[in-house]
Structure 1
Amino acid sequence: MFKRIVISTLLCLLSISVFASNKTVLSQVETMTVAKSGLQYNARIDTGAVNTSLHAVDLEIIGGASKKMKSNVGKIVEFTTENERGEKKRIQAEIVSTSRVKNSQGIETRYMVKLDVGFPSELHDIHVNLRDRSHMNYKLLIGRNFLKHNYIVDVSDKKTIGPLAELSIKQTGLMYNTRIDTGAVENSLHAVNIRVENEDKVNIENNIGKMITFTTANEKGEKADVRTKIRGTSLIRNAQGTERRYMVRLSVGEPRHEFIVDVNLKDRTEMGYKLLIGRNWLQGHYMVDVSKKH
């Protein structure tokens, strides 16, 4: 009887282990398709995005559009999409909802449609928001609503981390409820009241190497002042254009396991997360599993 119990337990544990590891590992960029388009996209895998986003222009509501976007839910929208090679296709999809997307520049409302997205041999019927991504490098951005279908994002070959993590910045003495974002090249930290010694206000490049002092805060409202040296500047491109930010070097990571990494400084007052972790922290250290709880 005891022998049976031991064998049953071992089989159960083995089964759990196999199930836990039965996930497809994705790299930072994958070649994917949107079934109705027949196009191949260089898709950016972005654990920082809730939903998947597809480049779409010249939207036309079949049967006529209402002035209120929500009133068009349930209708068919026709639009033109395009991949990175300039190949275009006009396709139709059902509007299932509207999505309010919040970023540092404000709030934008987009149509959400149902589309089959993924690899030709493994498509998933998911909700996709439509937006003009003509000025973006990637015309298809894969968000967490796709990745939840048993995928892990690998920007390293080390430990696994979830889409959210409690991380420390040694120089602040604070803990941050951090968004892990494989769509971001580098880390970004909330910083206000920025003061630069002998600042050149015309050309910020001339401030590299100078001392900078700024105030940061975590999601609990706990604040700290940090004084350090400007390591460089970073040109950030997003949907609203470009902006240049100061870069500093800080010790970021799990408590007692922090490591030094470059971080750009940005007023993230209106953002839900005061520390955003990008690929320059993840690279060589972590894989991202969006189903993992922190």
Structure 2
Amino acid sequence: MTLQKFMVGSIENCDLPGLGIIDLEVRVDTGAKTSSLHVDHIKKFKKGGKKWVSFDIHPTVHNVDEVITCQAPLRDVRKIKSSNGVTEERYIVRTSIRMNQQEWQIDISLTDRSDMSYLMLLGREAMLNRITVDPSETFLLTSE
């Protein structure tokens, strides 16, 4: 089955149902390879003999008191260069994303994005063969 690509703007909303997050505002960034998510209190642990991570997310940027604690299998540890040119080791988890009534799996790096305007950055790998970006627009999906 061939999926029909859909158009997004430079800022959109998405759900991360695997992490219990609904209506998260994301910055769509074709310059970033990997998606990233702002989290706090990252801890690595073993569960069933496998490596996992737990972390806290503040899903509403305007309400820092709201916290969701998540757990996910650790998919990878990668060296990622941030927008300021600094390379850091980040934990990578795989979870589902929902946009435009479609749902698929993406890899997300967990990091401190507290100095950024958006809690999540949607990178190229997550958009591959699904999304076309119009950088001059915002919230194209919510206007339908």
Q: Tell me whether the two structures share a fold, i.e. TM-score over 0.5.
A: yes
2:71 counterpart of 1:224? no
Query: Could you report, residue by residue, the CA deviation over 1:114-147 in whole angstroms, capped at 9, with x for unpaired residues?
Result: xxxxxxxxxxxxxxxxxxxxxxxxxxxxxxxxxx
Cα distance in 2 between the residues matched to 1:293 and 1:196:
36
Question: What is residue 3 of structure 1 aligned with on the other side?
Answer: none
Q: Spell out the pairing of 1:185-204 with structure 2 (5 A cutoff).
A: 185-197=33-45
2:82 counterpart of 1:235? no
Cα distance in 2 between the residues matched to 1:159 and 1:226:
29
Query: Could you report, residue by residue, the CA deviation over 1:132-178 in whole angstroms, capped at 9, with x for unpaired residues?
Result: xxxxxxxxxxxxxxxxxxxxxxxxx7111100001111122332111
Cα distance in 1 between the residues matched to 2:133 and 2:43:
35
Question: What is residue 30 of structure 2 aligned with on the other side?
Answer: 182
Amino acid at match of 1:163: S
Are the structure 2 counterparts of residues 225 and 172 from structure 1 closer, same or farther at C-alpha, using a change threshold of 3 Å?
same
Question: What is residue 210 of structure 1 aligned with on the other side?
Answer: 51
Amino acid at match of 1:225: T
Bigger CA radius of gyration: 1
Unaligned 5+ residue runs, structure 2? Answer: 140-144
Cα distance in 1 between the residues matched to 2:97 and 2:125:
11
The answer to whether the Cα contact below 8 Å between 1:247 and 1:264 also exists between their aligned partners in 2 is: yes
Cα distance in 2 between the residues matched to 1:274 and 1:185:
17
Identity of aligned residues (%): 28
Question: What is residue 72 of structure 1 aligned with on the other side?
Answer: none
Question: What is residue 5 of structure 2 aligned with on the other side?
Answer: 158
Cα distance in 1 between the residues matched to 2:37 and 2:120:
5
Unaligned 5+ residue runs, structure 1? Answer: 1-156, 199-208
Select the residue among 258, 264, 269 that pairs with 2:103: 258
Cα distance in 1 between the residues matched to 2:103 and 2:38:
18
Cα distance in 2 between the residues matched to 1:276 and 1:241:
17
2:119 counterpart of 1:274? yes
Structure possessing the higher relative contact order (Cα contacts under 8 Å, 6 or more residues apart):
2
CA positional deviation for 1:255:
6.7
The answer to whether the Cα contact below 8 Å between 1:172 and 1:225 also exists between their aligned partners in 2 is: no
Query: Could you report, residue by residue, the CA deviation over 1:253-284 in whole angstroms, capped at 9, with x for unpaired residues?
Result: 32752211110000112211001000011110
Structure 1 residue ranges (4+ consecutive) displaced by more than 6 angstroms after TM superposition: none
Amino acid at match of 1:224: I
Cα distance in 2 between the residues matched to 1:235 and 1:167:
26
Query: Could you report, residue by residue, the CA deviation over 1:8-61 in whole angstroms, capped at 9, with x for unpaired residues?
Result: xxxxxxxxxxxxxxxxxxxxxxxxxxxxxxxxxxxxxxxxxxxxxxxxxxxxxx
Give the structure with the higher percent helix.
1
Cα distance in 2 between the residues matched to 1:284 and 1:167:
17
Cα distance in 1 between the residues matched to 2:10 and 2:45:
37
Question: What is residue 288 of structure 1 aligned with on the other side?
Answer: 133
Amino acid at match of 1:226: C
Question: Please, what is the CA RMSD of the aligned residues?
Answer: 2.0
Q: Spell out the pairing of 1:17-166 with structure 2 (5 A cutoff).
A: 158-166=5-13
